[in-house]
Amino acid sequence: MALEISQEIVDAILEQSRAEYPDECCGVVLGPVGADKALRLKPMINSAHSPTFYEFDPKDLLALYREVDDNDEEIVVIYHSHTETEAYPSRTDIAYAGEPGAHYVLVSTRKEIAPATEFRSYRIIDGVVTEEPVVITA
């Protein structure tokens, strides 16, 4: 298992993370049902507006699922940023992970490693975190 994702989408997520600093940013990448292809970036609003927590607004969440259903798409990637810590799922991330089919992407744009960044992907199923390779395509 690996996550394949374009450089363009990776760059856009990292840019969103910097732009929303110090709050965590979040969003999804969508793709056609059953293809496991992360093709369409959809940034979401972090309704928690917090440096240590993120949450999709419940109304936005319902609209997202409706849109995905209408387009015969699925949520391939759920991403959020850590602005002060490494790109590894926190205990809260693990407790809340509710999409067993999704790649959970964590990015870190913390200052101590700048200008380097981290972009890592995980499966989180029944509380078990498994990191997977990220293959960045042109």
User: How far, in Å, CA of 31 to CA of 39, rounded?
Assistant: 5
User: How far, in Å, CA of 25 to CA of 20, rounded?
Assistant: 6
Provide the minimum distance between the beta carbon of 138 and another protein in the complex, in angstroms, as a whole number. Answer: 29
Give the distance, in angstroms, between the CA of residue 77 and the centroid of all CA atoms in the same chain. 6
Provide the minimum distance between the beta carbon of 105 and another protein in the complex, in angstroms, as a whole number. Answer: 12
| Nearest to another protein of 59, 138 (CB atom) | 59
The residues binding another protein (CB under 8 A) are 26, 28, 44, 48, 52-56, 58-59, 61-62, 65, 78, 80, 89-93, 95-101
Stated length of the chain: 138
Peptide bond into 89 cis (omega under 30): no
Peptide bond into 51 cis (omega under 30): no
Q: Which residues pair with 134 in a beta bridge?
A: 3
| Nearest to another protein of 14, 106 (CB atom) | 106
Provide the minimum distance between the beta carbon of 87 and another protein in the complex, in angstroms, as a whole number. Answer: 12
Provide the minimum distance between the beta carbon of 115 and another protein in the complex, in angstroms, as a whole number. Answer: 25
| Nearest to another protein of 42, 136 (CB atom) | 42
| Nearest to another protein of 71, 137 (CB atom) | 71
DSSP 8-class letter at 112: G
